[in-house]
Amino acid sequence: MSEEIKTPNYAGAMPGDNPRIGVYVCHCGSNIAGVIPCDQVVDFAANLPGVVHAAETMYACADSGQRLIKEDITRHGLNRVVVSACSVRMHEPTFRACVAEAGMNPFLMEMANIREQCTWAHGHDREGALEKAKDLTAAAVAKAAFLTPLDMIEVPVSKKALVIGGGVAGINAALDLAEQKIPVILVEKEPTIGGVMAQLNKTFPTMDCSI
Amino acid sequence: MVDAARQPLIEVKAYTEVERVEGFVGNFKVTLREKAKYVRADRCNGCAACAKACPVEVPNYFEMNLAPRKAAYIPMSQSVPLIYNIDMDACIHCYKCVEACGALEAIDFSMEDKMVEEEIGAIVVATGFGHFDPTPMTEYGYGRFPNVITAMEMERLNNSAGPTRGSLMRPSDSKSLRRLAIINCVGSRDKRYNSACSNFCCMYAIKNALLLKQMIPEMDISIYYIDIRTPSKGYEEFYDRAREAGIKFIQGRPAGITEDPDSHQLFIKSEDITLGRVVEHEYDMVMLNQAAIPQPDQNHMSSVLNVAQSPGGWYMEYHPKLRPMDSPTDGIFFAGACQGPKDIPASVAQGSAAAARASRILHSDTWQIEPTVAVVWEDRCVSGKGQACGICERACPYGAIDYTKGISAEVITAKCHGCGACVGECPHDSITQLHYTDAQVLAQIRTLLAVEPEKKILAFRCQWCSYGGADLAGTSHFEYSANERGLRVMCSARMDADLIYEAYRLGAGAVLFSGCHPQDCHYITGQIAGAKRAARLDKMFARMGMNPARFRTEWISAAEGDKYARVINEMQAALDAIPQDELKAEIERLKPEMEKKLSKLNQIPGVEEAMIQVDFIVSEMQNKAVPV
């Protein structure tokens, strides 16, 4: 498996690589744009070295926002994309998939979190939030310039499930998996499965018995 | 229950505990401890001869200790699997059970706990919840007044399979009862114990009241409540039924229960909000509707599984709305009350949902994982030049690095989880981590500190915990100083000392070194490596005479948004307390020391070239900056 992974000799520098970065500043309705003027972040980003295109978008994650990014990749010959929007925990997979659809390696996309970690946390310090949003966007642009294409690692899958806990949720999960022909080990620490459910008399709202 | 035992693809391992979970999605290696039952599963036919012969009686946990069981036992007659256990703590070794078992020879006193290893593709965690013990609430007298019982005790006392065969009687005198009170929110919605609502207890109180009313129509039943919460389908109608059946609902949390010591009659004093006055009523028995709390061993299981806990101790989901069944670890899912109190319909639904999430993986031949792995620069590794080292091998929590003196170290990619501990520890800068290379992280640091660095708090955060904590601070709108500038690496173990030196060289006002709590680390021991390094740095900075307000180490979970905001605000206040001229003088004084420490930085592959380009970005930012 390891030999399949593309490992650049000098990760971080790509000789002869000339970054053409596109920056997208998301309004997220009023979640971001209600606190900071997004156009000012765009103007700021547009002048950063390496950035060839910067634009605002009402919802970067919406179909229209993603279409804009994909079209721009071809139109402006972008080879890096920065999305200044929400948390990576929210939409990193979304924008990785988006640039991949336009033929770009998904790891050439970088996000700046200007919602959870900026406008939502500094709602009463608009100036501070604007400066921070610019800095976070610049940091994402700077990192993006040195991103290298990477391929996901494929790992094999052991076709067996472990369910820990033999109460009503665990039993149901085990049955559903087994009915899909997946072998299951159902582990219970007590001598019998059933959990709290087995100790109950009738149960609401149907008043039928629990076992 | 029986369906699960009958399903040929389900192997039920009762009386078994999960000892260790290693590996990653699709490839977990799980060690199970099959506890010794002293009865051989392949021979026991469940005939109960051993239990009949056993002379030892101990309380049965399944009956809430209201009824005895033998030392040779099953918890209940419908136990699945139907295999007896010998409780070795209670056994007096009279061997009467062996005699009774006879030719079956199922009883085997030589049995020992057995460790079994299993290769697992995906894990569903459904460890359930525990019950709040009302003993500390002395105002209700549980444990002192025999007729004050818990909800689970009530459950067994009116259960036809329970110790009284379903005939409800008072523990003090075994007499039937006419007046029953149910007190809701015992240990829940109570800041002294658990401030959260336990979700199902309103319905649960109504169920018991209706059930008893059906059994004994003349019984007078009152439910003391704060609010009645019946939001699901058919629940409000159920509540209506209870009111129509004559069950009394008294809005007010009782201040206390008193008892007549002779008759053991109980008196509840409480405010009745509807009447607007204090009332006192007499009852034969009181049921305390106790809070649902995390399992007593939930902290332990959380470290076995390497999953974090929300405030209150429940397992923390990846995202409360979008991925409520997923743990932050790919391939581990939650079902039922272990993730938070929920009733039976919700637990069943989550069981199915978790199964569906897990089957995405289990139906695939391969699964994709992120390629953010470590890579060795062979020409830089000192081992390749014959020097003894091996620091990277020792730093790796996964044994993913092969080190042999004389050969440059090699990363076994399939084993590498991408924490970056080896990168942070390598003293020769011979390893990097893809997607978090030195050049990439340095580029971020330089831009974040481009303008007025002395005003900035640079916050290093790990992907899984403190970054999540910062997210939660925002989601909860806990405001903190906008001078904070955060950057993310996978683990605190990746937070290389060079990165911290660089921040101070550039003149950062303060630096936060943050990651997960030790038991939550996504990378087994990554946090320990990070914590050791942070402690070393702290000492070194103190020796250099750095103001202690300028470097702080904090462990912040993804559930601690309030803590993240508080830490940043405290750091800002501490930074503000340093006079500007003093701060600037200190930055200038320490700059040469930082430069000395970073003298070899430009030799790291890619860094020098990258920094030339980053400096273009930095000067553009500085030119644009509005003079204050």
The confidence score (pLDDT) of residue A185 equals 98
CB contact under 8 Å between B158 and A123, yes or no, is: no
Domains, in order of start, for chain A: 19-145 (3.40.50), 161-209 (no CATH)
Tell me how close the Cα of A28 comes to any Cα of chain B, in angstroms: 14
In this predicted structure, the answer to whether residue B174 has a pLDDT above a threshold of 90 is yes
As a whole number of angstroms, the distance between CA B286 and CA B292 comes to: 19
B452 and B504 housed in the same domain: yes
Residues from chain A that touch B375, judged by Cβ atoms under 8 A, are 7, 11
In this predicted structure, the answer to whether residue B270 has a pLDDT above a threshold of 80 is yes
Q: Is A188 exposed, middle or buried (0-12, 13-18, 19+ CB in 10 A)?
A: buried
Is B27 inside any structural domain? no
Is B170 inside any structural domain? yes
Residues from chain B that touch A115, judged by Cβ atoms under 8 A, are 474
Of A115, A141, A173, Cβ closest to residue B126: A173
Min mean pLDDT across A176-180, B20-24, B70-74, B129-133 is at B20-24
B192 and B228 housed in the same domain: yes
- Residue ending a domain, choose from B270, B293, B316: B293
Of B76, B156, B475, Cβ closest to residue A120: B475
Nearest to B179 by CA among B287, B288, B286, B283: B283
Residues from chain A that touch B347, judged by Cβ atoms under 8 A, are 167-169, 172
Tell me how close the Cα of B129 comes to any Cα of chain A, in angstroms: 8
Of B83, B203, B338, Cβ closest to residue A165: B338
Of A107, A170, A185, Cβ closest to residue B351: A170
Helices then strands (H, E): number in chain B?
17, 29
Of B14, B365, B617, Cβ closest to residue A142: B617
Q: Which pLDDT tens digit goes with each residue over B519-561? A: 888 888 899 999 999 999 999 999 999 999 999 999 999 999 9
Is B139 inside any structural domain? yes
Is B324 inside any structural domain? no
Residues of chain A short of pLDDT 70, as ranges, are 1-16, 210-211
The total number of structural domains that make up chain B: 4
Rounded (5°) CA angle B497-B546-B619:
65
Is B326 inside any structural domain? no
B471 and B386 housed in the same domain: no
Q: Are B267 and B280 in contact (CB under 8 A)?
A: yes
CB contact under 8 Å between A155 and B440, yes or no, is: no
Q: Which of A17, A130, A157, A197 would you mutate first to test chain B, the one with the most B CBs within 10 A?
A: A157
Could you tell me which chain B residue has the CA closest to the CA of A3?
Answer: B413
B428 and B450 housed in the same domain: no
Question: What is the b/e burial string over B10-39, where b = at least 16 CB atoms within 10 angstroms of the residue's CB?
Answer: bbbbbbbbbeebebbbbbbebebbbbbbbb
Q: Are B122 and B361 in contact (CB under 8 A)?
A: yes
CB contact under 8 Å between A168 and B366, yes or no, is: no
Is B321 inside any structural domain? no
Interacting residues of A55 by C-beta distance below 8 A, sequence separation 6+: A22, A23, A24, A25, A42, A68, A72
Residues from chain A that touch B467, judged by Cβ atoms under 8 A, are 88-89
CB contact under 8 Å between B482 and A122, yes or no, is: yes
pLDDT band at B311 (very low <50, low <70, confident <90, very high): confident
Could you tell me which chain A residue has the CA closest to the CA of B17?
Answer: A189
As a whole number of angstroms, the distance between CA B379 and CA B403 comes to: 15
Provide the 3-class DSSP secondary structure of residue B614.
helix
The confidence score (pLDDT) of residue A210 equals 67
The overall pTM is greater than 0.90: no
In this predicted structure, the answer to whether residue B138 has a pLDDT above a threshold of 50 is yes
The CATH number of whichever domain residue B279 belongs to comes to 3.50.50.60
In this predicted structure, the answer to whether residue B145 has a pLDDT above a threshold of 80 is yes
Is B592 inside any structural domain? yes
B410 and B487 housed in the same domain: no
B98 and B209 housed in the same domain: no
Residues from chain A that touch B480, judged by Cβ atoms under 8 A, are 121-122
Of A176, A203, A211, Cβ closest to residue B344: A203
Give the length of chain A.
Answer: 211
CB contact under 8 Å between A167 and B621, yes or no, is: no
The confidence score (pLDDT) of residue B627 equals 57
- Residue ending a domain, choose from B293, B311, B331: B293
Residues from chain B that touch A189, judged by Cβ atoms under 8 A, are 15-17
Tell me how close the Cα of A35 comes to any Cα of chain B, in angstroms: 13
Tell me how close the Cα of B284 comes to any Cα of chain A, in angstroms: 22
Alpha-carbon B587 to chain mean position: 41
Residues from chain A that touch B440, judged by Cβ atoms under 8 A, are 12, 143, 146-147
Of B358, B605, B613, Cβ closest to residue A161: B358
Tell me how close the Cα of A75 comes to any Cα of chain B, in angstroms: 24
B53 and B157 housed in the same domain: no
Residues from chain B that touch A82, judged by Cβ atoms under 8 A, are none
Q: Which of B167, B239, B444, B449 would you mutate first to test chain A, the one with the most A CBs within 10 A?
A: B444
Q: Which of A92, A96, A168 would you mutate first to test chain B, the one with the most B CBs within 10 A?
A: A168
Q: Which of B214, B306, B375, B437 would you mutate first to test chain A, the one with the most A CBs within 10 A?
A: B437
Instruction: State chain B's mean pLDDT as an integer.
Output: 95
CB contact under 8 Å between A116 and B474, yes or no, is: yes
B499 and B570 housed in the same domain: yes
Give the structural domain span for B382. 374-433
Tell me how close the Cα of B278 comes to any Cα of chain A, in angstroms: 32
Of B120, B336, B486, Cβ closest to residue A167: B336
Question: What is the complex's ipTM, to 2 decimals?
Answer: 0.87
- Residue ending a domain, choose from B112, B140, B169: B112
By DSSP bridging, strand B401-404 and strand B407-411 are antiparallel
Q: Which pLDDT tens digit goes with each residue over B467-500? A: 999 999 999 999 999 999 999 999 999 999 999 9
CB contact under 8 Å between B1 and A173, yes or no, is: no
CB contact under 8 Å between B235 and A205, yes or no, is: yes
CB contact under 8 Å between B344 and A197, yes or no, is: yes
B208 and B159 housed in the same domain: yes
Is B380 inside any structural domain? yes
As a whole number of angstroms, the distance between CA B417 and CA B490 comes to: 10
Could you tell me which chain B residue has the CA closest to the CA of A184?
Answer: B10
B424 and B448 housed in the same domain: no
Of B152, B361, B468, Cβ closest to residue A157: B361
Of B17, B347, B414, Cβ closest to residue A1: B414
B85 and B199 housed in the same domain: no
Cα dihedral B500/B502/B503/B508 (nearest 10): 130
What does the pLDDT average to over B81-88?
A: 96
- pLDDT above 90 covers a percentage of chain B that reads 89
In this predicted structure, the answer to whether residue B625 has a pLDDT above a threshold of 80 is no
The CATH number of whichever domain residue B589 belongs to comes to 3.40.50
CB contact under 8 Å between A178 and B10, yes or no, is: yes
What does the pLDDT average to over B416-425?
A: 94
Q: Which pLDDT tens digit goes with each residue over B556-614? A: 999 999 999 999 999 999 999 999 999 999 999 999 999 999 999 999 998 998 999 99
B592 and B608 housed in the same domain: yes
Q: What is the 3-state secondary structure (H, E, C) of B390-439?
A: CHHHHHCCCCCEEEECCEEEEECCCCCCCCCHHHHHCCCCCEEECCCCHH
Tell me how close the Cα of A90 comes to any Cα of chain B, in angstroms: 8
